[in-house]
Amino acid sequence: MEILKSILLGLAQGLGEFLPISSSGHLLLLQKAFGLTEGGLGYSIMLHIATLAAVCVVYRGQIFALLKKPIQWKTLWLIAATAVTCAVYLLFDDFFDEMSASGELLGYCFIITALLLTASEVVRRRLDCTVTCSDMKWWRALVIGAVQGIAILPGISRSGATISGATFCRMRRDEAAEFSFLLSIPAILGGAVMEVPGIIETGLGDFNLLTVMVGMIVAGVSGYFAVRFMIHMITKKSFVPFIAYTAALGVFVLLDQWVFHLIYR
C-alpha cells in the first residue's frame, strides 16, 4: 500500500507539474486522503526535483543554447520573471505556507485555474498572438513572473497560469509553453532551496527511502511524457478538457469541505 501511495503521488506530481491541473493541489488532496501528516514537505520537494530532471531532458537543446550564449534577451526575461516570482513569494510567504498546510482555499484555487485557462482560450481565439521570446518586452516577463508567483498557492496550476499569462501578453502558444517550462527550472530549484530548513527539521516522516525513490521515478517519467503531451496540446488542441476537469474538481473540493467531509474531516 505504501508503494501504491507513492506511485499515485508521483503521478500527481509528474502529470500535474506540466499539465495545467496543479501538482501541488493534487499532492495536497492525496496527502489528506491518505492521512499523511509528517514528511510531506520533504517528499514533495523530492518529487519536484524529479520533474525538474524531466523538463531539463526535454528542453536540453534550449538549455545548452542558453548556457553557450547566456547574454541574450530570453535569458534576461527569464531572470526578470523569476525575480518577480521571488518577490511575490517573499511578500506573501506566511500566507502561502498557511494555505499550503490547511488547504482552505484549495477548491477556490482549482476554480481559478479553470477561469485562467478559459480566459486564455478566449484571448487566443480572438487576438492575434504572434509575440516570440526573442521580441517580447520587459513588461511581459513581469506579468508572467507575477502569475507564477500567485501559482504558489496549491490548486493554481503553475504551467496553466504562466502559459495563460503569456497568452494574455499575446505570445505564440508554442513560445508561451517553452518560456513557461524553462521558467519552471529556476522556480523548482529556488523552491527546493527555500524549503531545505523545513526538510531538515521534519525529515521524511511517513516516507522511507524506497517509497521516495519509487515516487521520484514515477514523477520523472510521467513528467517527461506530460511535457511532450503539453507541447502537442498547446500547438494543436484547446484547454477545454482541463477547464472542465479543474472546475469539476474545485466544486468537489468545496462540497467536501462544506458537506461531505470525505477528505476534509
- What is the model's pLDDT at position 234? 79
Domain count, the chain: 1
Instruction: Note the pLDDT tens digit of each residue in 219-251.
Output: 999 999 999 998 888 777 789 999 999 999 999
pLDDT classification of 253: cutoffs 50, 70, 90? very high
Which range marks the domain in which residue 171 is found? 2-260
241 inside domain? yes
65 inside domain? yes
Give me the mean pLDDT over the 155-159 stretch.
95
* pLDDT at residue 207 tops 70: no
Across 44-53, 84-93, 111-120, 202-211, the highest mean pLDDT is recorded for 111-120
* pLDDT at residue 193 tops 90: no
109 inside domain? yes
pLDDT classification of 121: cutoffs 50, 70, 90? very high
83 inside domain? yes
The region, left, alpha or beta by phi > 0 then psi within -120 to 50, assigned to residue 237 is beta
224 inside domain? yes
Rounded CA separation 67/50 (Å): 21
- What is the model's pLDDT at position 129? 87
pLDDT over 70, % of the chain: 92
| Backbone phi and psi for residue 66, each to the nearest 5 degrees, phi listed first | -70, -40
- What is the model's pLDDT at position 203? 60
Instruction: For CA atoms 148, 154, 157, 161, give the dihedral sign.
Output: negative
Give me the mean pLDDT over the 40-66 stretch.
87
pLDDT over 90, % of the chain: 57
131 DSSP 8-state letter:
B
Q: What average pLDDT does the chain have?
A: 88
Give me the mean pLDDT over the 121-144 stretch.
90
265 inside domain? no
Give me the mean pLDDT over the 33-52 stretch.
76
Q: Minimum mean pLDDT among 133-137, 141-145, 207-211: which range?
A: 207-211
212 inside domain? yes
- What is the model's pLDDT at position 198? 63
158 inside domain? yes
Residues 6+ apart with CB under 8 A from 131: 140, 169, 170, 171, 172, 175
